[in-house]
Amino acid sequence: MKDSLILEVADFEHDVLTGIYSEETGKPQPLRFTIQVRMAVAEKYEADTPLEGSKNYMDLKFAASDALPEGVHFKLIEAVADHICETLFVQDARVEAVTVKIVKLAIAEANEKIGITLHRERK
């Protein structure tokens, strides 16, 4: 098995225009994101390896917040996850795969976690 590097941002919350029901449209919903990125791994990481030797974790958070187009309503959270994957692939050619887990917080009745997980490999 080859080496791999997984970067992760877990349980990041951000409001997104999403949903198909009338009570969901027109206003942002709180979503909880966990994003994992599998990257090409360096042969070795030394104590003085610069950030360019990996990827800034904040890029993952950015893909699920500022990189989402303002004012666009995503009917499905699957489309939100797809946009995040594509953003991360475009940002960095070393990204081999992206996994996005989204939990819709507004529809939980008893603290259950309702949502999706989308995994994409670079094509």
* Structural domain spans, the chain: 5-121
| Distance separating alpha carbons of residues 105 and 31, to the nearest angstrom | 6
What class has domain 5-121?
Answer: alpha beta
Model pLDDT for residues 7-54, shown as the tens digit of each residue = 999 999 999 999 988 777 888 999 999 999 999 888 899 999 999 888
Contact 100, 85 (CB under 8 A): yes
What was the pLDDT predicted at 58?
94
The mean pLDDT value for 52-63 works out to 93
Q: Could you tell me the pTM of the whole model? A: 0.92
If 0-12 CB within 10 Å is exposed, 13-18 middle and 19+ buried, where does residue 111 land? exposed
